[in-house]
Amino acid sequence: MSPDKRAQIVLGLGFGDEGKGLTVDFLCGQALAAGRQPLVVRFNGGHQAGHTVVLADGRRHVFSSFGAGTLRGVPTYWSAYCTFSPASVLREYAALRALGVHPRLLVDGLCPVTTHYDVLYNRALEAGRGTARHGSCGVGFGATVARHQETPLRLYAQDLRFPAVFTYKLRQIRMYYEAKIKAETSFDFHQFDHDGEDQRFAGYATQLADLHQQQLIQLTRTQEIFASDAPWQTYVFEGAQGILLDMDFGLFPHVTRSRTTSANALDLLRESTPAFGAHPEIYYVSRAYHTRHGAGPFPPEAPINLVNNAAETNQPNDHQGNFRTGPLSVELLNYALTCDANFSAGLSKHFVLTCLDHLPNGQLPCFYQGHLQQLPPKQLPVLLETDFASYRFSHSSTGAGLNQPLAL
């Protein structure tokens, strides 16, 4: 790898929705301003992500299947650590084109593909749990990962180029979930037109093939992305969800089937030879308050007054339920940092605090040492058990406020 290539890894310190999209967009803007062509790398999760980006010109988009630098014309590498949903990709592609954007997506051929059967099983299982729901997004991410890890029924992004192959595999997946749904739920599998849905899926593959011909959505491999002659100088790794939902460190069963720490990103970098010229930097992101969309443990819950949050992306829905907000827990922030330190020891680290404009008095409501306190924002990094190279605070929905790192 050319010594002038750099890597920046963006991680959430909570349960998701911390401001990772805003941070990725900001870092892409910095790279472009410096003349360093960036590439956004998605290294965990899938289309269940929802990363909101607002540009200074007012354009706004919630990214799920494209990287959060796309509004700036930055391409995305969708690594094999991520699931790939043809339906979601095509919907988002159309939405971005409607904004006047020409998105480019580079998809690893070994990405596990989410089918409508993964989504159906996910929703049937979660609905059957009643009040014991796990907090699933209901889009089939976990079901896709489990099918690939626990059965031989694997459908890869590269398979979508071959109709005879994906048609056969889809038929096998259909039979698998028919039996699984019957055995594990009371849901009536046969109430839907599965033949029609299979035809729709085949249509998605055709549309993706057309976009592949136009070199807008292309299949690729890790070696090509990180090759020494690849055209990108700055690799911005965009994490999905937060460290408190990590499959290894989160509080089971309310976790995601994904490593939300820096582990996957660092594994991708280690595969490149020779290594990057500089060690990767990590940007840890938190809102000025905790959020959780769906079921699961939450910091000691207490009322919190918010302002300027009318454009909140997260809304109550049938699958996740309510969007919950509450004071920050210093203990949980330190726990998240400790979990990631297992992989990122010795790397340069930065702290980003977003949504400060949502607090009516500018003070952070925090649980610290067993008490709810109102802290000035600059005091929070001092309480975190990590030596940060910089601190950046955002008081708006755009990344403009992140331009100047702060001294404490």
List, by residue number, the catalytic residues: 17, 51
> Is position 128 annotated in a ligand binding site?
no
> Is position 350 annotated in a ligand binding site?
no
> Is position 21 annotated in a ligand binding site?
yes
C-alpha span between 370 and 142 (Å, rounded):
35
C-alpha span between 89 and 95 (Å, rounded):
10
**How would you classify the pairing of strands 290-293 and 323-326?**
antiparallel
Cα distances from 218 to residues 75, 166, 198, 221, in angstroms, run: 11, 18, 23, 10
Q: Which residues of 53-88 are buried (b: 16+ CB within 10 A; e: fewer)?
A: bbbeeeeebebbbbbbbbbbebbbbbbbbbbbbbbb
> Is position 293 annotated in a ligand binding site?
no
Dihedral sign (CA 12, 232, 93, 265):
negative
> Is position 16 annotated in a ligand binding site?
yes
**How would you classify the pairing of strands 281-287 and 323-326?**
unpaired
CB 328 within 8 A of CB 261: no
> Is position 70 annotated in a ligand binding site?
no
Give the list of residues 6+ apart from residue 305 with CB closer than 8 angstroms, or none: 360
> Is position 256 annotated in a ligand binding site?
yes
> Is position 182 annotated in a ligand binding site?
no
> Is position 148 annotated in a ligand binding site?
no
> Is position 20 annotated in a ligand binding site?
yes
> Is position 50 annotated in a ligand binding site?
yes
Q: What angle do CA 83, 88, 90 make, to 5 degrees?
A: 120
CB 288 within 8 A of CB 356: yes
Cα distances from 97 to residues 39, 73, 138, 216, 253, in angstroms, run: 19, 12, 26, 12, 38
Task: Tell me the binding residues for IMP.
Answer: 17-20, 241, 256
Task: Tell me the binding residues.
Answer: 16-22, 50-52, 241, 256
Task: Tell me the binding residues for GTP.
Answer: 16-22, 50-52
Task: Tell me the binding residues for Mg(2+).
Answer: 17, 50
